C-alpha cells in the first residue's frame, strides 16, 4: 500500500470515527431527552389585596373586604347578613357606615383624578390621602394627594391610603368601581400587569381562588358581577378566563378542597365553554394536602381519620386527598369528554417525601390522573429557625444555597422516576427560593437582591429542564422581603431587572426555552 493509499485509508477511518462519535453524542442526547419534554414556565399570581405590591385589576375598589362601623362601637368585619350577593354592603343598621380600602396605585401622582361609581341607594364618599372633587347620583370624583407607594419605598414615610365610605345604605350596593378617570370602563385588568405575564405559558390561579381560605363555595359566587376579591371571595371564572384570553396563557385552577360536586361541575363547564381552542387547562383540588399547616391538609387528615383510611393519620390524610383528586378528575373528565386532550388532571405531592407521590397507586387513583405536581424549592435550611443559634454570613449562605439547589435538582430526578414508573407527567405547581429569616429581614432582602440569586435560579431551572422538563409554575410574580419570606420575582410592579435578579434569570431562561404560546 503506497503512501497516498495509506493516507486515504487513514482519512476514511478518521471520518468513520468522527461520524460514530457524533452519532454517539446525538444518540446520547436523544436518549437523555426521551421522556423529558421542553420546559414551559408558569407563574403563580399574587392574591388581589390592597396591601399587595401588585395591581392586577384596574378597579381600585375590588381589593379589600368591607368593614362596618356602628355608632360608638368602632370598626369590625362586616356581618354576613349585611352583605349582598355581590359582596358589597346591604341594608346596614341605622347610623352604620361601611368602609372599603381602595388600592392606592404604586405609581399614583398627586392630582391624578379617580372616578367612583356604584349601583344601589346609598351615600358614598372617599377619605384619607385624597381630595374630594365632585359628586352626583351614584358617582363622585377625587384626586390623590400623595405619591404612590413606589415613591416612598425605602423611607420611613407612612404608606398612602384611600378609603371609600358608604352610609345610609337602604338597599344592596353593587358594581362598585373606582378607577382613574382616563381609564376605559371596560378595562378589567391593569395593562402593565398583563404585560408582566409575557414570559409565562401557564398561570396558576391558586391565590386568586382563595383555596387556602374558608369561604363559602357556590356556583353563584363565580357567576356574579364585579365583587370584592379578598379572603371571602375568589375571582370569578369569567375574570380568570378573560385573563387567559388576554395574556394568551394556559390556566391552572386549584379548586377548594371542600367544593361540592355541583360547584366543581359548574366551574368546569364554564371553563369548557370559554377555553380558547388550542389552550390547555390544568386542574387540582385544594393546595398542598400533604402540608398540615394549610386548610386542605387539615381537612384531609380529619376526613381520612373519620373514614378509617391508612395505617396511621398521615397516610390516611394522603389517601383521602387522593380520593378527592379522583373525584375532581372524574367530574372534569365528563365535562371535557369532547376535548380530553385539553384537560390535565393534577395530583400534587411533596418533592421531598415521595410517599405523597406514590400514594396514587392505591384506591385506583392513578388512571384518573394525568400529571403529578411537586414544588422544587431551595433554601429553607440555610438559616436556623432559632435566632439564638449562629447563622452564616451572606457569602457562606450562598455557598450553602448552591448545595441546596443541587439537592433539589437531585430530588427532581427521583420524582421524575416515580412519575415515569406511574406513567404520569411531572410538573411543578410552585418552586423557587424559600429563604425564611423572620428575625433578620434585612439579610433576607440582601440575599434576594444579590446577583448570585440569579445564578441560583438559572441553575434550578436548568436542572429542571434536564431532569424533568414540562411545566414549572414559579412562586410568585411579585412580593418583597418580609417576616414571612420573600418569594416574588420582583419586589413590586415594574421593578427594573437591574434590581430583580430572580426575574432577570427567569426571563433569560424563558427566552432560551420558548416553545411558543
For residue 304, is pLDDT > 70?
yes
CA dist 270 and 238 (Å) reads 8
**Percentage of the chain with pLDDT > 70?**
89
CA dist 50 and 481 (Å) reads 17
For residue 151, is pLDDT > 60?
yes
Residue 78 DSSP one-character state: P
Q: Is the peptide bond before 476 cis (omega within 30 degrees of 0)?
A: yes
Please report which confidence band the pLDDT of residue 171 belongs to, taking 50, 70 and 90 as the band edges: confident
Element (H, E) at 481: none
Backbone angles phi, psi at 350, to 5 degrees: -100, 120
Query: Cα 307 vs. chain centroid, distance in angstroms?
Result: 32
Q: What is the pLDDT of residue 9?
A: 39
Q: What is the pLDDT of residue 232?
A: 58
CA dist 318 and 330 (Å) reads 18
A 10 A CB-CB count for 380 gives 14
pLDDT, tens digit, for every residue of 17-42?
A: 343 333 333 323 333 445 799 999 99
pLDDT, tens digit, for every residue of 439-477?
A: 999 999 999 999 999 999 999 999 999 999 999 999 999
Contacts of 328 (CB under 8 A, 6+ apart): 255, 259, 264, 283, 284, 285, 345
Q: Is 451 helix (H, G, I), strand (E, B) or coil?
A: helix
pLDDT, tens digit, for every residue of 378-402?
A: 999 999 999 999 999 999 999 999 9
How do beta strands 67-70 and 74-77 pair?
A: antiparallel
**Percentage of the chain with pLDDT > 90?**
71
pLDDT, tens digit, for every residue of 248-281?
A: 999 999 999 999 999 999 999 999 999 999 999 9
Please report which confidence band the pLDDT of residue 323 belongs to, taking 50, 70 and 90 as the band edges: very high
Please report which confidence band the pLDDT of residue 3 belongs to, taking 50, 70 and 90 as the band edges: very low
Q: What is the pLDDT of residue 16?
A: 37
Please report which confidence band the pLDDT of residue 71 belongs to, taking 50, 70 and 90 as the band edges: confident
Q: Is 31 exposed, middle or buried (0-12, 13-18, 19+ CB in 10 A)?
A: exposed
pLDDT, tens digit, for every residue of 349-362?
A: 999 888 889 898 87
pTM listed for this prediction:
0.90
Amino acid at each position: 500500500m503506497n503512501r497516498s493509499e495509506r493516507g486515504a485509508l487513514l482519512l476514511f477511518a478518521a471520518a468513520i470515527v468522527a461520524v460514530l462519535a457524533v452519532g454517539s453524542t446525538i444518540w446520547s442526547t436523544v436518549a437523555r431527552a426521551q421522556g423529558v419534554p421542553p420546559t414551559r414556565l408558569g407563574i403563580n399570581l399574587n392574591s388581589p389585596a390592597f396591601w399587595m405590591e401588585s395591581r392586577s385589576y384596574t378597579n381600585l375598589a375590588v381589593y379589600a373586604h368591607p368593614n362596618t362601623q356602628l355608632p360608638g362601637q368602632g370598626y369590625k368585619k362586616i356581618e354576613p347578613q349585611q352583605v349582598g350577593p355581590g359582596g358589597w354592603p346591604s341594608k346596614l343598621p341605622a347610623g352604620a357606615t361601611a368602609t372599603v380600602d381602595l388600592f392606592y396605585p404604586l405609581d399614583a401622582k398627586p392630582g391624578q383624578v379617580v372616578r367612583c361609581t356604584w349601583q344601589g341607594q346609598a351615600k358614598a364618599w372617599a377619605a384619607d390621602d385624597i381630595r374630594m372633587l365632585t359628586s352626583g347620583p351614584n358617582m363622585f370624583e377625587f384626586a390623590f394627594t400623595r405619591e404612590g407607594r413606589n415613591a416612598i419605598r425605602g423611607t420611613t414615610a407612612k404608606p398612602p391610603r384611600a378609603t371609600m365610605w358608604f352610609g345610609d345604605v337602604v338597599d344592596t350596593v353593587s358594581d362598585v368601581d373606582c378607577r382613574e378617570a382616563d381609564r376605559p370602563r371596560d378595562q378589567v385588568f391593569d395593562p402593565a400587569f398583563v404585560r408582566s405575564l409575557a414570559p409565562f405559558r401557564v398561570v396558576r390561579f391558586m391565590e386568586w381562588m382563595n383555596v387556602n381560605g374558608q369561604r363559602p363555595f357556590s356556583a353563584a359566587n363565580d357567576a356574579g358581577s364585579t365583587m370584592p376579591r379578598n379572603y371571602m371571595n375568589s375571582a370569578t371564572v369569567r375574570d380568570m378566563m378573560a385573563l387567559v384570553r388576554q395574556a394568551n396563557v394556559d390556566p391552572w385552577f386549584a379548586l377548594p378542597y371542600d367544593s361540592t360536586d355541583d360547584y366543581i361541575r359548574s366551574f368546569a363547564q364554564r371553563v369548557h365553554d370559554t377555553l380558547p381552542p388550542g389552550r390547555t387547562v390544568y386542574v387540582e383540588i385544594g393546595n398542598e394536602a400533604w402540608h398540615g399547616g394549610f386548610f386542605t391538609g387539615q381537612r384531609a387528615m380529619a376526613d381520612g381519620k373519620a373514614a378509617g383510611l391508612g395505617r396511621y393519620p398521615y397516610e390516611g390524610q394522603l389517601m383521602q386527598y387522593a380520593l378527592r383528586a379522583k373525584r375532581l378528575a372524574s367530574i372534569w373528565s365528563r365535562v371535557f369528554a369532547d376535548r380530553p386532550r385539553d384537560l390535565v388532571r393534577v395530583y400534587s405531592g411533596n418533592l421531598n417525601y415521595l410517599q405523597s407521590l406514590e400514594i396514587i397507586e392505591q384506591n385506583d387513583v392513578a388512571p384518573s390522573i394525568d400529571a403529578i405536581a411537586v414544588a422544587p424549592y431551595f433554601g429553607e435550611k440555610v438559616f436556623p429557625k432559632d435566632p439564638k443559634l449562629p447563622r452564616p454570613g451572606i457569602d457562606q449562605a450562598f455557598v450553602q444555597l448552591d448545595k441546596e439547589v443541587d439537592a433539589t435538582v437531585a430530588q427532581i430526578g427521583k420524582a421524575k422516576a416515580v412519575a415515569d414508573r406511574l406513567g404520569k407527567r411531572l410538573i411543578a405547581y410552585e418552586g423557587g427560593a424559600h429563604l425564611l429569616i423572620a428575625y433578620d429581614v434585612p439579610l433576607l432582602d440582601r440575599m434576594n437582591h444579590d446577583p448570585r440569586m440569579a445564578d441560583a435560579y438559572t441553575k434550578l431551572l436548568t436542572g429542571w429542564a434536564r431532569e424533568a422538563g414540562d411545566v414549572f409554575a414559579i412562586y410568585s410574580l411579585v412580593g418583597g422581603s418580609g417576616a414571612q419570606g420573600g418569594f416574588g420575582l420582583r419586589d413590586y410592579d415594574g421593578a427594573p431587572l437591574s434590581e430583580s435578579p430572580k426575574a432577570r434569570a427567569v426571563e433569560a431562561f424563558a427566552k432560551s426555552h420558548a416553545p411558543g404560546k
